[in-house]
Structure 1
Amino acid sequence: MRQMRMSHDEPLLAIDGLKTHFFTREGTVRAVDGVSLTVPRGKTVCVVGESGCGKSVTARSVLGLVDEPGRIIDGRIAWQPGAGEPVDLTTLDPKGERMRRIRGGEISMVFQEPMASLSPMYTIGDQLIETIRLHLPLGKEEARDRAVEQLRRVGIPRPEERLDAYSFQLSGGMCQRVMIAIALAADPALLIADEPTTALDVTTQARIIDLLRDLQAETGMSVLFITHDLGVVAEIADEVVVMYLGTVVERGGVDEIFHDPKHPYTNALLGSIPRMGAGAGRRLATIRGNVPHPSDRPAGCPFHPRCDAAIGGVCDVSDPPHIVFGEARSVRCVLHDDGAAVGGDFRVDGERA
């Protein structure tokens, strides 16, 4: 096992150069290709980007939930919930006892589709109590009492009755609350939420977001929140990581990202947000083209085929440099490299001066 020494002041989770590839008959799919990010203690880090950018595979890699034919081929995932040396999660057997203790006990995950995550063959209570007893030394009655309290904690009415219900008897919002209750059953230090509000209506989305914020304030847990909804990001994030085609193109504080975006892709995402008072009949801004398939990555900067500020002979040839602006602010773009032949001052609105 690789040895890594960190002080207790270091982040709760530190991902460094993570590469998760899928080896198929058609070729190698570089779903995650060198991702680096950190999750500070007690903070919310939002990972944003279009579908196909590798957000969910990054999250699954943390917990060793990458299905065949995929596997982690490089990088480190340093996990340090307490004092002492961190654990490199990439070195643990995904089916081993140590990883099983971490998964659900120290790090929990809420998935996109609650109806698909809950088994219709077992009651809500069966699934919640099983999780509690797996990670906590409680008897059946104690575990049932804790399960009732967990359901009450996430705002489910009449929790004693809901414990004996099946998932198909509950609404989507109620099922998502159950999933959060299961994820928090053992009081994990980190909650990974993979687009937990995607399939819900707007009112229920707001309630789930408020619930997660309240629970974080109550427990002090860290949250790694994966989403494509920048409205949610503005509401809950402390830090933002922008991903594109398996790489991190920009990271920074939420105010910095929203008010001073450095990467053209971040700027394009922000520009696509519908604006109040924009006027009827005004077309919504879009990002031209689509995210390429990870097995067919363009040369140079992966975003250059869709970028209005791309520089011919530069962006389509060389990988973009990693420019660091501060301890938690960086961007991968040649436009911010002093040595690049940009040909004018660049304003991050898609125009050159």
Structure 2
Amino acid sequence: MPPDLTTAPAAPRPAAPDHAPLLEIEGLKTHVDTPEGIVRAVDGAGFSVPRGKIVCLVGESGCGKSMTARSVLGLVEPPSRIVEGAIRWHRDGGESVDLAALDPRGEAMRAVRGREIAMVFQEPMAALSALHTIGDQVIEAIRLHLPLSREEAEERAVRLLTRVGIPRAAERLRSYSFQLSGGMCQRVMIAIALACDPALLIADEPTTALDVTTQARILDLLGDLQADTGMSVLFITHDLGVVAEIADEVVVMYLGTVVEHGPVDDIFHHPQHPYTRALLGSVPRLGTGPRQRLDTIRGTVPHPSERPEGCPFHPRCDVAVAGVCDRGEGPVEVALGASRGVRCVHAGAEGSAS
């Protein structure tokens, strides 16, 4: 008999073996057809999200982070398309499915989207409909996947809104998004994402549009929810301060390619890729004088249609090796442990990429 899905909050998921993957992405390539040619938005990305862990996907704007997340959920619309790779989703019962092989509009993908994997988008005011009440939107998300009556779904909606910290939740069901603050709207979006107790929550820059105080509250909320339910989280951000606060593991992405991944302590204290080191070096620190120049990464992220040959970062890299980093597909990934990998010719060397 399936578990009772009519109550909230959900019971924590059973513990899984260390490093057991819930989601595995291998060689993912998502391209966009344009009049000027093919844009390789995601170009061979690969990483995994372990069960019960928070994985932060980081990188500058234009590096393919959001497109990777949308590819997982089949939210890639023409002229974009997944052309290669696998997105393996491992269910709790042991069944696995390649999401990249499913019809994005088919029943199998719709059963995963929202029910097993949910997503919180960057702009809550834009993601919520201004024409429907908050209650209608939360209830619709619930009834889309769960066999509940309108009354049962409404009761669950009140519990969900209360769970994410919205005061007078029953009254808020009759409110519209334009009557709420940005922080409250983001809490509603999180409630909708949690409506069916997903195993994986994808959060795409969920705090970027919020003020600093509200950002901290939303991060605390997500951390508490993850700890309470045991769900996995794929958190997309460019803010390394956020990464340091919430991440268990970090995936560094540049121009559609994963250049480094590993446990958060390894990434922060022993970065191996020049891009990772440059990102960390550009973070403002306490004690910086008023006239002290901040470190920056020279150049800018090129448009994916202008992706350089070899390692995509080599034109901005101070330690690139001529004839190696600028040829072919660039360096292959070097494994530095069970969950640690770096795509750089300097990987593992003493004083790597310094």
C-alpha displacement of 1:346: 4.5
Q: Distance in 1 between matches of 2:32 and 2:228?
A: 39
- Counterpart among 26, 44, 69 of residue 59 in structure 1: 69
Please point out which of 113, 119, 123 is paired with 1:109.
119
Q: Secondary structure at the match of 1:336?
A: coil
Aligned partner of 2:338 in structure 1 is 327
Match of 1:336 in 2: 347
**Does structure 1 retain, via aligned residues, the 8 Å contact 2:114–2:196?**
yes
Q: Distance in 1 between matches of 2:41 and 2:168?
A: 43
Counterpart pick for 1:45 among 42, 46, 55: 55
Instruction: Check whether the contact 2:31–2:38 (CA below 8 A) recurs between aligned residues.
Output: yes
Kindly provide the CA deviation profile for residues 224-246 of structure 1, in whole angstroms up to 9, marking residues without a partner as x.
Answer: 00000000000110000000000
Out of 13, 17, 34, the position equivalent to 1:24 is 34
Residue 313 of structure 1, CA deviation: 2.6
Confirm or deny: 8 A CA contact 2:40 2:256 kept in the other structure: yes
1:223 equivalenced with 2:233 (yes/no)? yes
Q: Deviations over 1:271-319 (max 9, x none)?
A: 0100101111111111011001101111111101111111223222241
Contact 1:321 1:337 in 2 (8 A): no
Q: How does 1:159-178 map to 2 (within 5 A)?
A: 159-178=169-188
Contact 1:21/1:29, CA 8 A, preserved across alignment: yes
Q: Aligned partner of 1:316: which letter?
A: D
SS at match of 1:286: coil
1:194–1:226 Cα contact (<8 Å) kept: yes
Q: What amino acid maps onto 1:207 in structure 2?
A: R
C-alpha separation between the residues in 2 aligned to 1:110 and 1:63?
A: 12
Look up the equivalent residue of 1:327 and give its one-letter code.
A
Unmatched tracts of structure 1, length 5 or more: 1-7, 339-344
Matched residue SS, 1:165:
coil
Greater alpha carbon shift after TM alignment, 317-326 vs 186-195: 317-326
Q: Cα deviation per residue 1:133-158 (whole Å; 9 max; x = unaligned)?
A: 11111101110011011100000011
Task: Provide the rounded CA distance (Å) in 2 between the counterparts of 1:336 and 1:48.
Answer: 19
C-alpha displacement at 1:103, in angstroms? 0.4
1:336 counterpart letter in structure 2? A
CA contact (8 A) 1:252 1:329 kept: yes
Does residue 160 of structure 2 align to residue 150 of structure 1? yes
Q: Deviation of residue 337 (structure 1)? A: 7.5
Aligned residue for 2:185, secondary structure, equals helix
Q: Secondary structure at the match of 2:321?
A: coil
Separation (CA, whole Å) in 2 of partners of 1:23 and 1:170: 39
2:89 is the counterpart of 1:79: yes
Report SS of the residue matched to 1:148: helix
- C-alpha separation between the residues in 1 aligned to 2:241 and 2:206? 14
TM-score norm. by structure 1 comes to 0.93
Provide the residue aligned with 2:302 in structure 1: 292
Quote the Cα distance in structure 2 between the aligned partners of 1:45 and 1:250: 13
Letter in 2 for 1:62: V
Q: Quote the offset at 1:101 in angstroms.
A: 1.1
User: Structure 1 vs Structure 2: percent identity of aligned residues?
Assistant: 71
Cα RMSD of the aligned pairs, angstroms, is 1.2
Query: Quick check: 1:188 aligned with 2:198?
Result: yes
- 1:197 deviation in Å? 0.3
Q: Which amino acid letter does the alignment assign opposite residue 309 of structure 1?
A: V
Question: Which structure 2 segments of 5+ residues have no match?
Answer: 1-15
Structure 1 partner of 2:285:
275
Q: What amino acid sits opposite 1:266 in the alignment? A: T
User: CA offset at residue 321 of structure 1?
Assistant: 2.2
Asked if 1:135 is matched to 2:181, the reply is: no
Q: Counterpart amino acid of 1:157? A: P
Give me the whole-angstrom Cα distance separating, in 2, the residues matched to 1:54 and 1:177: 26
Q: Distance in 2 between matches of 1:79 and 1:67?
A: 21
Q: Which amino acid aligns with 2:243?
A: V
8 Å Cα contact 1:48/1:243 also seen in 2: yes
Report the equivalent of 1:253: 263
Contact 1:252 1:330 in 2 (8 A): yes
What letter matches 2:23 in structure 1? L
Match of 1:3 in 2: none
Q: In 2, distance between residues paired with 1:321 and 1:11? A: 22
CA–CA separation in structure 2 for the residues paired with 1:84 and 1:223 = 20
Query: What letter corresponds to residue 166 of structure 1 in structure 2?
Result: Y
SS in 2 for 1:75: strand
- Residue 91 (structure 1) shift: 1.3
Q: How many residues align?
A: 336
Which residue is 1:204 aligned to?
A: 214
